[in-house]
Structure 1
């Protein structure tokens, strides 16, 4: 994800004492519904977990042995689109995912976060905590840049954790997923965001055409499965309604790398699985700017008028079957 030293240092600082080696699994006991949660009969708000898969491309997912992601695609609405015209870099894209506006508004153009305008365009965490402080929000990620976004506002997310390096990208992602599972099972947050990083690492080292990319997808699919199982177990035990959103921040060139304006670098995707999303429907009008509006909508919060994205529609959208290019439309 074209990283820099600042997020890595921030990662270690934020992670100190935040995660332990032994993390509970979804079957290790589920706590009662948190304040502001839906009623036991499933009515009320819809809690949301967003799973961010850095540097991941939907066509590669579909070709991989990735049963958990394939299940989410089959059970929900999914679509592939392009962010061309927007920087194909993690900082700007995760900022768009977590604010609902493009870089022309949030001001982030690289991974230094210099020029960020989170005061005017706050993250979903800040919007939720401002409107409903009793709601629990959590950001648990492998890359420290997510903590920069989640910790940017006042109020910030209730939980802001970056997983300490565990010796490899795969091991660190596993620790991140285990922490998310524990958060869901123990606390049932209204909104939890997680980012897993190993696919991006493989994209940089071997490219999508290389030997490392496909195995990294198949490993991260196992971590996605843990989180999905935790959500399903909690929903069954408590009657809470949950939506799972999966998305990515950018693509990768066949020979590796991103940050330019080629078609491969600009590809992103969204998967939405939950009550109301039509099974197996393809909607290539979905964009990463739709994530925050969808989270706010699920929680029954007002939609700010200045957001660039819109809530993902429930019901059957019109399938486009093509790549929805955004060039020339950013920041409208």
Structure 2
């Protein structure tokens, strides 16, 4: 009886801990790492001192099948889904045809924790209605619980001017609403979006005006950080805060982005994660790593179909497989990977279709199982002749995928 009570108490304690975990991620628009690292940002610096700073890339694999435009909405969706543009299908800011078969962190979260609360605070209404797909049949009628957005459409409260000062006022309002909501309602998963920095980049490029916008952004992030600290201290909740950007800027003037230059692909990730894992320390992380990082913190298991399609790797905790490479020759697949935390086996699954893209199911075959520490395997696919292979490496701690295309 005593043993049973001990087990029950442990389960209840674990459940209580899980209920107290909350996460907020902030996307600030269009700030390359070189600019952020050379400017005084006291509030971001405070978060870094209690956590960590990582340089990160946007834009997928340059020259590869995941190459992704360094454009705002495209970058947001890579953060939301943990996938690059070849999957989520948001190619520009028009957001014409998002592929909702690739779930956002909000859909995964609500599917597993339907009783928990989500929130989006943003100038752009499209972030919620088109990218996340609030209340769309295509997203399973996902419903965001708390929303404050669309302020760029409110020309009465925020009359537009040529210098775009109204966007700074909108960002200030978004930050005020977000901080107040986090303090009072503490939604379990929140997204805050701030735009003004990108507007100043487009208008003035590398300039005093751009630097001033970054400093104003830092003040707004500070409001949100103080709200998080308030919840941590007053209610003993455990919070994850992640701040990132969606793209960098061009090398010549700082006014443009969208291409694949180093500076346009240059991003960063700030969080209160005190000790990023081995993968984060030895790699150049991507913004797609944010989704699985948030999921792991919230103790949110990724469904198999999400895990198999995710292009990201969590930045905390143990990681079994990373940086997979696949080559094809003479009816074989030569597969290699990095194993930051060797242990356990890696199952190698292979499919020759991409039916998932249109809502179907791919037929995976388990072709090998080898120790993760081996970091390499050659599998025979003579019985699976194809010009396309989708390879999934399922390790003890995480799952990652890599495609091989003939052309």
TM-score range, shorter chain: 0.7 to 0.9
- Tell me what 1:231 maps to: 228
Give the whole-Å Cα distance in 2 for the aligned partners of 1:206 and 1:290: 31
Give the whole-Å Cα distance in 2 for the aligned partners of 1:149 and 1:242: 25
- Tell me what 2:147 maps to: 160
Partner SS state of residue 263, structure 1: coil
Give the structure with the larger strand fraction.
Answer: 2
1:308 aligns with 2:311: yes
Contact 1:79 1:284 in 2 (8 A): no
Contact 2:70 2:257 in 1 (8 A): yes
1:220 aligns with 2:217: yes
Give the whole-Å Cα distance in 2 for the aligned partners of 1:246 and 1:214: 18
1:210 aligns with 2:210: no
Contact 1:252 1:265 in 2 (8 A): yes
Structure-2 change in CA distance of 1:272 and 1:286 (3 Å): farther
Partner SS state of residue 50, structure 1: strand
Contact 2:148 2:177 in 1 (8 A): no
Contact 2:90 2:98 in 1 (8 A): yes
Deviation at 1:59, TM superposition (A): 2.4
TM, length-normalised to structure 1: 0.77
Give the whole-Å Cα distance in 2 for the aligned partners of 1:236 and 1:224: 18
Contact 1:88 1:250 in 2 (8 A): yes
Partner SS state of residue 265, structure 1: coil
Q: How does 1:204-283 map to 2 (within 5 A)?
A: 204-207=202-205, 209-253=206-250, 254-255=252-253, 256-274=255-273, 277=276
- In structure 1, the gaps of 5 or more residues are 1-36, 316-328
Deviation at 1:96, TM superposition (A): 0.7
Partner SS state of residue 156, structure 1: coil
Contact 1:174 1:223 in 2 (8 A): yes
Q: How does 1:65-214 map to 2 (within 5 A)?
A: 65-84=40-59, 85-118=67-100, 120-147=101-128, 148-150=130-132, 151=134, 153=139, 154-165=141-152, 166-167=158-159, 168-207=166-205, 209-214=206-211
- Tell me what 1:293 maps to: 292
- In structure 2, the gaps of 5 or more residues are 1-13, 60-66, 153-157, 160-165, 319-399
Structure-2 change in CA distance of 1:276 and 1:211 (3 Å): closer
How many residues are matched?
Answer: 278
Give the whole-Å Cα distance in 1 for the aligned partners of 2:201 and 2:83: 26
Give the whole-Å Cα distance in 1 for the aligned partners of 2:317 and 2:83: 21
TM, length-normalised to structure 2: 0.63
